[in-house]
Amino acid sequence: MNNEKDPLLLDHEADGIRELDNQLPRWWVWLFNLTIFFAGAYLLYYHVFDRGALMAAEYRQEMEVGEKVKQAALDRFEKEMLTMAPSTDAAVLEEGKQVFTVNCVACHRADAGGLVGPNLTDDYWIHGSEFKDTLQTISNGVPEKGMVTWKGLLKPTQIYAVASYIYTLRGSNPPNPKPPENTAPATPQVNIYE
């Protein structure tokens, strides 16, 4: 072998394979030492002295913050609901139609003529005929009667959109509607398209 004289070559050999005792680069050794130091510091900081929040605790904290933001938005919407007017914006109504198709047709029928839930196109309203009543009923639901509480499931903008969409269906007279639940017609409907 011609490498016999190499000072870095170690004595032992296995099946002709020999080992070169090369010095590791300094920067590498320091980096390695740094990782050892980091691991020790991490262990002390997080697990021995409990100074930092671990991943699960951090997750909980962030969820709490998120929950507060969500609650604040819902509270704000709760107040805004009282003075909102139905949207006539085509994009909002289209979004409302989609929300209705996905979430509401199972109980109110695609044309809102009523199935399990009441007809939403007639003059008879169980929970009030004003736009704010519609918003409130959708948001708070009527759990004891099977109407879902949508706040928290739908975003405020989606509730507003679907309520606006329903508003455009008033007076649309779909075939075979569900009979009115309410005995006396409530306040006459106002249809923005009339």
Which residues lie near ligand HEC (CB under 6 A)? 99, 103-104, 106-108, 116-118, 120, 125-127, 134, 137-138, 142, 145-148, 150, 162, 166
Instruction: Characterise 25 by phi-psi region: left (phi > 0), alpha (psi -120 to 50), beta (else).
Output: beta
**Residues 46-70, buried b or exposed e (16+ Cβ, 10 A)?**
eeeeeeeeeeeeeeeeeeeeeeeee
Are 126 and 133 within 8 A, CB to CB? no
Q: At closest approach, how far in Å is the CB of 38 from ligand HEC?
A: 52
Please, which residue, 9 or 107, has the CB nearer to ligand HEC?
A: 107
As given in the structure block, the two tokens for residue 14 are 């296995």
Please, which residue, 57 or 190, has the CB nearer to ligand HEC?
A: 190
Please, which residue, 18 or 132, has the CB nearer to ligand HEC?
A: 132
Please, which residue, 9 or 78, has the CB nearer to ligand HEC?
A: 78
Q: At closest approach, how far in Å is the CB of 40 from ligand HEC?
A: 56
Q: At closest approach, how far in Å is the CB of 118 from ligand HEC?
A: 5
Are 99 and 149 within 8 A, CB to CB? no
Please, which residue, 46 or 141, has the CB nearer to ligand HEC?
A: 141
Q: At closest approach, how far in Å is the CB of 178 from ligand HEC?
A: 10
Q: At closest approach, how far in Å is the CB of 168 from ligand HEC?
A: 13
Q: How far apart are alpha carbons 78 and 138 in whole angstroms?
A: 12
Q: How far apart are alpha carbons 74 and 182 in whole angstroms?
A: 30
Give the angle 71-73-74 at the CA atoms, nearest 5°.
65
